[in-house]
Each structure stands twice: as structure tokens, then as C-alpha cells.
Amino acid sequence: MNQSLPLPKYHQIYLVLCEQLQEGKFDAGLPGELALMQQFAVARVTVRRALSQMAEEGLIKREPGRGTRPLRSDGADKLGKSGYASHSGGQQARLTGLLENLVTMGLRTSVKVLSVQHLKAPKDVGDKLQLANGSMVQKAERVRSTREGPVSLITTWVPESIAHGFGRRELSQKPILVLLEEAGVIVGRAEQTISARLADVEMARHLDVPVGSALLAVRRLIYDDQERPVQWLLGLYRPDRYEYQMQLSRVGSIDAQIWVDKELSANFH
């Protein structure tokens, strides 16, 4: 566990398990106490306290001799993604918009493709991409790095009808937005949400951070120029290696002033 976090160990475990529960990782039941003790390197009393808190909130049910099962999942829509803090000597790209930002970052970092699969779209992914039940998608997992080390763990889902022209080799060489355009997609706009989450064991391993470390979580839906969703992305970022910057201006009358973004920049090192 991350000793520097101002959170008790049991609460760090509670937060990580809640995130995994939302992502549907425990549909077949939660790991046993011994497995969780080994995973988080903590004592049984710490694991039990985390599970007790989840049970008290109605997230799980603990049945002696039958294990622990989830009672409900609030879905993954609570999560979002992207991030890193700039330091002296870091590179800065001044961009005209989010999509240019993403392509520029992709061209100035290296990527390792962890896996590429072709499978039936999970329900939440199919809903986001507006696909018929049982439609096929390409799921790709990649780690993007700078010279200082890993920056992000990215998972993307693209409809099979679009992704059939590129695979592991192409994903290791070009940003996926470039591959989409080479496949005939005219990228129009993106919807993005950003929030925070704690790293579980797999995330920690790929991003080289302690389990329980805070990450920036980004969920992004890309549309083409005909307002058809063409890519759904889940990104986990180390907040010490990347950040988005926006300049906001107030517009409107004094009764209805709002903030609008004037500029985007991406800092990474």
C-alpha cells in the first residue's frame, strides 16, 4: 500500500475494491480474505475492516462458507481520465483543441501494446458506441511512456467494422486517432470526463507506482463528423507526469456569466 497517502490502509483497500466492483470484476464473487491479504500485503484485520465497510454500505454480502458476492454495481460511468504535473525541463505543446492535444502527445511518447482482442462488446461499451447487441469490437490495452517512465495505461474499444484494418503492429507505431482517420473516419469531436481513482495491483504494475496510489482517470468518447461514436477510451494517468491546462474566460451578461475554455496545453516529461 501507498504509505504516503493520508488514508488508513483499510480505506485504501476499500476504495480500490469499490472501483473494481464498479468495473464488474467481481461478478463471480470477491477474492477470499487470504488472497486479499496477499494482494495488498496487509493483515487480516485490515482486509476485514475494508470488507465490513463495503458490507455496511450494501455493496457486498458476506456469507460464511460461501464467500463474498457483490449486491450491486453502480457502473463505470462514475469514472473519467487523463493527467500529469509539469516540472522544469518538461516539454509543452500548445494546441488548438483536445483532439490535436491527443495526437501530439501520441507522436511524442512511446507505446507498448499489452494486448489486442476482438470480442463481443460488453454492454456498457456497446451502449456508449451505440452498437447492436452482440456486435464485435477491438479492445486494445497499451502503456504510453516518456524517457522518465510510464505515463498512462490506456484501454480503447473501437467497432470491428472500423478497426479491422489495424492491429498490434499499427497500434505500436501510430496514435489511434491517426489510425481511425486512415481507416476513413473523419474525427469530429470528443466528450471527456476526468476524475480520480486509486491504483489496483495491475495498474500499479504497469505504471510503476505503489498499489493505492492516486491516478487520474479519464473516460473519452470520440465521434465522427456524422455524430457517430467511433471510439470509447478508458485512460489511467500518473498525475506526476502529465497534466491538461485550460485558460478559462467569463462570457455572458452579469446575470448569466459562464466559463468557457480558451486554450488547451499538454505538459509531459
Among residues 146, 143, 157, which one has the least CA distance to residue 232?
157
Residue at a domain's end among 52, 70, 88: 70
* Coil, strand or helix at 176: helix
What CATH number does the domain containing 214 carry? 3.40.1410.10
pLDDT, average across residues 209-228? 91
- Number of domains forming the structure of the chain: 2
Q: Please check whether residue 73 is in contact with residue 251, taking contact to mean a CB–CB distance below 8 angstroms.
A: no
1 assigned to some structural domain: no
Banded model confidence at residue 253, pLDDT cuts 50, 70, 90:
low
The predicted pLDDT at position 3 comes to 63
pLDDT over 90 (residue 1): no
Banded model confidence at residue 257, pLDDT cuts 50, 70, 90:
low
pLDDT over 50 (residue 84): no
Same domain, 46 and 177: no
Same domain, 84 and 61: no
Percent of the chain whose pLDDT exceeds 90: 34
Cα-based distances in Å from 256 to 184, 250, 259, 263? 41, 10, 10, 22
Mean pLDDT (the chain, rounded): 78
The predicted pLDDT at position 25 comes to 80
pLDDT, average across residues 100-115? 68
What CATH number does the domain containing 47 carry? 1.10.10.10
Cα-based distances in Å from 27 to 20, 69, 136, 239, 249? 10, 8, 22, 30, 45
pLDDT digits (tens, 9 = 90+) for 131-189: 999 999 999 999 988 888 898 999 999 999 999 989 999 998 888 888 898 899 988 88
CA distance 159 to 182: 15
The predicted pLDDT at position 247 comes to 67
Q: Please check whether residue 9 is in contact with residue 46, taking contact to mean a CB–CB distance below 8 angstroms.
A: yes
Regarding predicted confidence, which is higher, 193 or 103?
193
pLDDT over 50 (residue 81): no
Same domain, 97 and 31: no
208 assigned to some structural domain: yes
Regarding predicted confidence, which is higher, 52 or 5?
52
Beta strand pairing call for 229-237 and 149-159: antiparallel
Among 27-41, 82-96, 176-190, name the one with the lowest average pLDDT.
Answer: 82-96
Same domain, 56 and 181: no
Same domain, 93 and 190: yes
CA distance 206 to 144: 10
4 assigned to some structural domain: no
Q: List the domain range (segments joined by +) for residue 20.
A: 9-70
Residue at a domain's end among 70, 92, 123: 70
